[in-house]
Amino acid sequence: MTDDELRQAIEAVVMVAIEPVTPGLMAELFEEPAERVEAAAGQIADAYEADRRGFVLAKIAGGYRFQTHPDQAIYVERFANREVSHRLSTAALETLAIIAYRQPVSRSQISSLRGVNVDGVVRLLEQRGYIEAVGRAEGPGQPVLFGTTDLLLERLGLDSLAQLPPIEDFLPGPDTIVELEDRLRLSLGD
């Protein structure tokens, strides 16, 4: 393996790693001595610093990982704090789940399933680009039907809605239902 190939391999592995990758593990993966991996990682780190990149290859907890350059902390904080306001409420997540699993679906169908008015939540999800009008229902008033967008798939890391977990995975099992029925009977005095 040439020096360039080794540096590329290190970058590729560290890029996809969740936790810092130790030189020993990389040496094993690349079938190269750990000292050579360490030297190549040092060269990468030096090159990023010399190029004044917005990120660094840092040695953390005995391994390597990419992280933002300390000089860019103010911008990263602004970005991270911006995302806080974009988190969805429980009501929005429930509504989004109904649309994802039942689409195309009207506002009144969503309201019926949730048991509350969903007009504001549907508007929010439309504004965020997670849902869109996909047609109109037949019948009185021809209500707008909603479906999910490619942006939602992107945010969920899915290729298609077929990759959503089966809805049955979220429903209680028969034993739980029997137990709930028994409790309800007891509480109602039947």
Which residues belong to CATH 1.10.10.10 in the chain?
3-72, 90-186
* Confidence check: pLDDT of 12 > 80: yes
Buried b (16+ CB within 10 A) or exposed e, 139-167: eeeeebbbbbbeebbeeeeeeeeeeeeee
Q: What is the CATH number of domain 90-186?
A: 1.10.10.10
Q: What is the pLDDT of residues 90-137, one digit of tens each?
A: 889 899 999 999 999 999 999 998 889 899 999 999 998 999 999 999
Q: What is the pLDDT of residues 13-42, one digit of tens each?
A: 999 998 889 999 999 999 999 999 999 999
The pTM is what? 0.49
Categorize the per-residue pLDDT at 190 as very low, low, confident or very high, splitting at 50, 70 and 90: low
* Pairing outcome for strands 131-136 and 105-106: unpaired
Amino acid at 60: I
- The residue with greater pLDDT, 173 or 127, is 127
CB–CB of 180/172 below 8 Å? yes
Query: Residue 154: what pLDDT?
Result: 81
Q: Which CATH class is domain 3-72?
A: mainly alpha
Dist CA 176 CA 174 (whole Å): 5
Dist CA 129 CA 114 (whole Å): 21
31-60 average pLDDT score: 95
* Pairing outcome for strands 105-106 and 144-148: antiparallel
* CA angle at 182 for the pair 177 and 187, rounded to the nearest 5°: 125
* Confidence check: pLDDT of 147 > 60: yes
How many CB atoms sit inside 10 A of residue 91's CB? 14
Average pLDDT value over all residues in the chain = 87
